[in-house]
Amino acid sequence: MKILVIDLEKEDYSYIEDENLRSKYIGGVGLNTYLLYRNTDRTIDPFDEKNNLFFSSGAFVGTNIPTASRCEATSLSPTGYFGSSNSGGGLGAAIKFCGIDCVWVKGKSRTPVYVKIDGKGVIIRDGSEIWGRDTFETVDILKRKEGKDTEVASIGVAGEKGVRFASIQNGYYHSFGRTGLGAVMGSKNLKALCFNGKEEIKVKDRKRFLKITKTLREKIMSSDSFGYTRRYGSMVVSDVYNRLGILPAYNFRMGSLKNWEATRGRKVFEEKFKERDFACFACPIGCLHWSKVKDGKFSGLETHGLEVTYVLEMGARLGIIDIPEIFSCVELCNRLGMDVISTSSVIAYLIELFEKGMLREADIGFKPAFGGFKNVHTLISMIARREGIGALFGEGLRRTKEHFKGSDDFACEIKGLEMPVRDPRGRFDTWTLGYLTNTRGGDHLRVRTPVDDLRDFERDYEHEPLPLTPDELALVDMPEAIKEKILGNPPSSIHIPGMAKYAEELIVLLNSVGMCIRPPVLRTIGPSLMSEALNVLYGYEMDENMLLTIAERIITMEHLFNLERGLTFKEFSFPERFYKESVDYVGGKRLPLDRERVEAMLRKYFALHGWDDEGRVKKETIERLGITPWKN
C-alpha cells in the first residue's frame, strides 16, 4: 500500500509503502482505523494541529468491481471520539488513479491553502481566493484552475468556522457528512484537496478477476431489491417508515404524519420531480437521481436527490412539507458544508427549547417553528456562519444542552453524535441496537443486516422475525456457521445481538473494500465473495473467516480508541425521551423502551466481542486479534 503523507506545517510531503498493511487492514476504513489508532494522541483536542486526517480508498476502488467507488475519511472527531465518514462519487477512484491508497494530512498551515495531488506528487497552493466561498463555488474555481476532470474534496464556511458537525463535501452533492470532519479540515486551514491522476490499477490475475467481476455484477443485478432500489433509491422506504411509526417527526415526538405519502412520499417525488437516474463510479444500480422543480417559487431549481435522509430529517424532524423547500435546505447545507442529520437535529432541539420557554424570541431574533421553511433556512445559515444564536448551536447537541438545564431528555444524541432518521420505539431490531453499538456514535449506517425486512412485528428485544424464505436465504453470502448461530437450525428468527456483531463486521468489510451498502449489495455480497475478489486482485489466499477476523480487529481498535478517550458504559444509551415517553403513529401508540432489556442486549453483544459487561476489551481478546496496545 502507498500512503501519501502531507505535512501542512512543513509544507512538505513523503510516501510510506507497506504492502503488509493490506492483508491486515484491507483499505478504506480499515486502513484509516489502523493509522488513527497508531498515530493519534488520545489526550489532544480534536482541533489541535497534532490531530490527523486520513482519506483512504477501498481496496477494490478504481477497478470494474461493481459499486466499488467508496472512500473513507477518518480523524479524531469534534465529538471527542472515533470520527469517520464514507462517500461515493468519483473521488475514491481519483485517489487511486494518483497511484496512492491513502492521503494522511498532518499539521496545520499558517494560512489558508488547498492541495493538488496527481501521479507526479503534491503542490500546496494559496487558498485565500477560495477561503470563505461555498463548496459549489470552490469546486467551480478549482476545476477551472486544475482541470475539468479534477475531483475535489472541500469544506464550506461551516468547516472554516469550526462548526462541530461540519462536513467535507465530495464534489457538489456527495458528502463525508457525519462526525464533523469538515471542522477538523478547517482547523488545519485546508480548504480543499484536488485529485487528478491517470495511473492504471494493477490486477494480479486478470482472467480470474474478470470472472469474479462478472459474478459480482450478476449477483447484485439479480437481487430482488435491485429494481426498486434503481427506481426509487433510498426513497423506497419513505412511505413504509410512516406506516411503521418510525419517523423522527418534530424531534421524535410523532412517529407518523398526516398526508405524508401525498406530500413527501416516493411516488410524489418520482412523478413530480425526478428527471433521471445516475450512478457513482462503476455502479450498475444507478440509485441516484437528478431532480427539477417545474413550478412554484423554486421553479427551475435542479439538484441531486431526493434521498430519504433528506426527507426524514428536513421533512419529518423539522416538519417541512414541500419537497422544493426540502431541496433548498439540503442544498444550503451542502454549500455551507454541514451534515444534514446533525443540522436538522440541532434545529429541532432549538425549536423545542423555544416551545418549552427555555429560549426566547429575543435570543433568536424570530419565532422558530416546525414546518417553518424560512426560519429553518435562516437558522442553517446562522449556525454555519456562527452568527447570533448559531454560535452556540454550532457546538452540537452535547455541548449546547449544557446551557439549558432540564433539556437532556430531548437532546437526541448518542456519544456526542446527533441521532438520525428512525425512532427506536417504533422498531427495536438489529439496526436499532446498532445506534448504540456504533463506534462513531448515534448513527444508522454502520450496522446494516443483510436479512432486513420492513414488515411490522411485536417488540422482542433479543429476536426479530426472519423474513426470508429458505431459497432467498440461500442467496445471501453469509458463512453457514454464522447463519446457524444467529438464525437457528432450521432458520427461524434473528438473534439481534449476534446479528449486530456480524452486520457491523459486514459493513466494515464493505467500507474497507470500497463497495456500496445499498440493499442489492448488502443482500448478495458477503465475506466469501469479497475474499475471492481480494485474492485475484492482490494475489492473497484469504477466506471468509480471515476477513471476518480482520473486521473484528478493526472494530475493536475503533472501540479501544474510544475507551482511551474516556468512553464509559453510560454513554451506550438512548436519550431519556425514548425511555420515558410513548409516541403516537397511524397504527396507535408505540411504548417507551425498557432500559434494562436494552442494556441486557448490549451486554450480550459485548460478550460476543470478548468485552466485559462494561464494554472494556479483555486482554485475551486484544491478544487474539493481534492488536498492539497504544501507549501514550
Q: Is the torsion defined by CA of 454, 458, 464, 467 positive or negative?
A: negative
- Pairing label, strands 168-170, 113-118: unpaired
- Report the percentage of the chain scoring pLDDT > 90: 91
Q: Whole-angstrom Cα distance, residue 457 to residue 464?
A: 8
- Report the SS3 class of residue 622: helix
Reported confidence tier of residue 224, pLDDT bands at 50, 70, 90: confident
pLDDT tens readout for residues 34-66? 999 999 999 999 999 999 999 999 999 999 999
pTM above 0.95, yes or no: yes
Q: What pLDDT is attached to residue 231?
A: 87
| Cell of residue 258, nine digits | 398526516
- Indicate whether 241 pLDDT > 90: yes
Find the angle CA(591)-CA(592)-CA(595) to the nearest 5 degrees: 140
Q: Is 57 in contact with 176 (CB distance < 8 Å)?
A: no
Helix H segments across 223-356? 226-232, 238-244, 249-252, 260-264, 266-272, 308-310, 323-336, 340-355
Burial of 596 (0-12, 13-18, 19+ CB in 10 A): exposed
Q: Which are the contacts of 24, defined by CB distance < 8 A and separation ≥ 6?
A: 34, 550, 553, 626
Backbone angles phi, psi at 423, to 5 degrees: -85, 120
Lowest mean pLDDT among 125-129, 202-206, 278-282, 590-594: 278-282
Nearest to 7, CA basis, from 130, 107, 74: 107
Mean pLDDT over 172-180 rounds to 97
What value does the mean pLDDT of the chain take? 96
Q: Quick one: average pLDDT of 374-385?
A: 98
pLDDT of residue 471: 87
Q: What is the pLDDT of residue 454?
A: 84
Q: What is the mean pLDDT of residues 201-225?
A: 93
pLDDT per position as a tens digit, 397-432: 999 999 999 999 999 999 999 999 899 999 999 999
Cα(158)–Cα(163) distance, rounded to whole angstroms? 5
DSSP 196-262: ---PPPP-S-HHHHHHHHHHHHHHHHHSTTHHHHHHHGGGGGHHHHHHHT---HHHHTBS--TTHHH
**Domains in the chain, start-ordered, CATH in brackets?**
2-195 (3.60.9.10), 209-418 (1.10.569.10), 430-573+594-624 (1.10.599.10)
Q: Give the residue among 562, 561, 414, 434 at the shortest CA–CA distance from 507.
A: 434
Which band of pLDDT confidence, cut at 50, 70 and 90, is reported for residue 193? Answer: very high
Give the per-residue pLDDT at 234.
87
User: Are 4 and 15 in contact, with CB atoms under 8 Å apart?
Assistant: yes
Question: Rounded mean pLDDT of 601-630?
Answer: 97
Which carries the bigger pLDDT value, residue 488 or residue 471? Answer: 488
The pLDDT value given to residue 460: 94
Q: Model confidence over 307-348: pLDDT tens digits? A: 999 999 999 999 999 999 999 999 999 999 999 999 999 999
* % helix, strand, coil for the chain, step of 5: 45, 15, 40
